[in-house]
Amino acid sequence: MRRREFLGVLGGAAAAWPLAARAQQAGKVPTIGFFGNSGASGGGPWTAAFVQRLRELGWVDGRTIQIEYRWSEGRTESNAEAAADFVRRKVDVIVSFGGATLAMKQATSVIPIVFTVDADPVGRGLVASLARPGGNVTGLSAQSTELVGKRLELMREIVPEFRRLAILANADFFGAAQEIGLVRAAAGKLGVDIVDMPEVRKPENIAPAFAALKGGAQVLYVSGDALTNAAHLRINTLALGARLLAVWPHRLSLEGGGFLSYGVNYDNLHRRAADFVDKILRGAKPGDLPVEQPTKFEMVINTTVAKALGVTVPEPILVRADEVIE
């Protein structure tokens, strides 16, 4: 190993040493229970961002910490299963995504919990307030309701004749009703009609929902959650087959035929979640760490899908995009 690399590793280990030493006296290094709301492959980029930031802070998986991964694969029932498993293993910190955090909190009031993103942590009872969470839960809120309208406005800029919209959401997702309400309100302001789509509650409902879709929708608005995120490839394939421009909240779900995403940068959220974990492992109480709001947003456009569906994306939109998939 080169001297510079050795010193870097030594410095990182030294930064983590106080807690690591205490944990080793107890017979183990600190353990993080990480729960993702998709599959290991789908959540890979977000996990990588989390692990990289931990490394920068001196926590190296397999050396100064141990990370136990669990994945929902789109199954909401896995939330409680993972929570019970983490409690049984007595992990030192739980990192959770979205809707699963409530199951984690119901399973333990002792183990610190950091949520990487949640649309309404106060409304769902995860924290007492954003400034003073209290209890054992804190993390990052994605309360960006204006993003819903912005996505539809972007679609109107790209497709001026955009007049009919279909909405795909998991009816069992806690935030679906609120988001659908916001979508309908934003669509009404733009003079866009909503084309009814059957409810989706499990993966096997997705294909029949597309088959039953009538009314000549031009755009498909997808509400992101564990179910839709895990099924994004199937959803995008079906959307392309129905000649629908699929709009998502984050870039990761554009894979396989999604057209546009606009929302918070989830890589950045997971990096910032690592900062929460670092502070907690060094002695901070989660209830004393204010919930943070997103600061980094991104727009991604898939021009390959645009070409396949005969859509020409205006140059000013392409210039504004953070990434163009070609």
- pLDDT single digits (tens) 274-288: 999 999 999 999 999
DSSP state of 73: T
- Per-residue confidence at 143, pLDDT binned at 50, 70, 90? low
Cα–Cα nearest to 97, from 59, 56, 54, 126: 126
Per-residue confidence (pLDDT) for residue 177, from 0 to 100: 86
**Is residue 246 a contact partner of residue 237, using CB atoms and an 8 Å limit?**
no
Lowest mean pLDDT among 19-28, 174-183, 259-268: 19-28
DSSP string for 44-65: HHHHHHHHHHHHHTT--BTTTB
The pair of three-digit structure tokens given for residue 271, joined into one six-digit string: 């990096």
Residues 6+ apart with CB under 8 A from 42: 229, 230, 232, 252
**Is residue 83 a contact partner of residue 104, using CB atoms and an 8 Å limit?**
yes
Q: What is the pTM of this model?
A: 0.81
CATH 3.40.50.2300 positions along the chain are 3-143+266-295, 146-264+298-325
Report pLDDT digits (tens) over 93-111. 999 987 789 999 999 999 9
- Per-residue confidence at 27, pLDDT binned at 50, 70, 90? low
Per-residue confidence (pLDDT) for residue 294, from 0 to 100: 86
**Is residue 289 a contact partner of residue 138, using CB atoms and an 8 Å limit?**
yes
CATH of the domain spanning 3-143+266-295: 3.40.50.2300
**Is residue 140 a contact partner of residue 273, using CB atoms and an 8 Å limit?**
yes
For range 221-229, the mean pLDDT: 89
The pair of three-digit structure tokens given for residue 43, joined into one six-digit string: 């959540």
**Is residue 112 a contact partner of residue 280, using CB atoms and an 8 Å limit?**
yes
> 15 or 92: whose pLDDT is higher?
92
CATH of the domain spanning 146-264+298-325: 3.40.50.2300
- Per-residue confidence at 26, pLDDT binned at 50, 70, 90? low
pLDDT exceeds 60 at position 126: yes
**Is residue 25 a contact partner of residue 61, using CB atoms and an 8 Å limit?**
no
Per-residue confidence (pLDDT) for residue 224, from 0 to 100: 87
For range 120-143, the mean pLDDT: 91
Q: Which uninterrupted H or E stretch holds 134? A: none
Residues 6+ apart with CB under 8 A from 283: 19
**Is residue 276 a contact partner of residue 112, using CB atoms and an 8 Å limit?**
no
Per-residue confidence (pLDDT) for residue 170, from 0 to 100: 92
CA 206 – CA 9 distance, rounded (Å): 48
Calculate the dihedral angle through the C-alpha atoms of 78, 175, 255, 77, rounding to the nearest 10 degrees: 10
Cα–Cα nearest to 137, from 103, 182, 178: 103
Report pLDDT digits (tens) over 171-218. 988 778 889 999 999 999 999 999 999 999 999 999 999 999 988 899
Report pLDDT digits (tens) over 50-93. 999 999 999 999 999 999 999 877 677 788 999 999 999 999 99
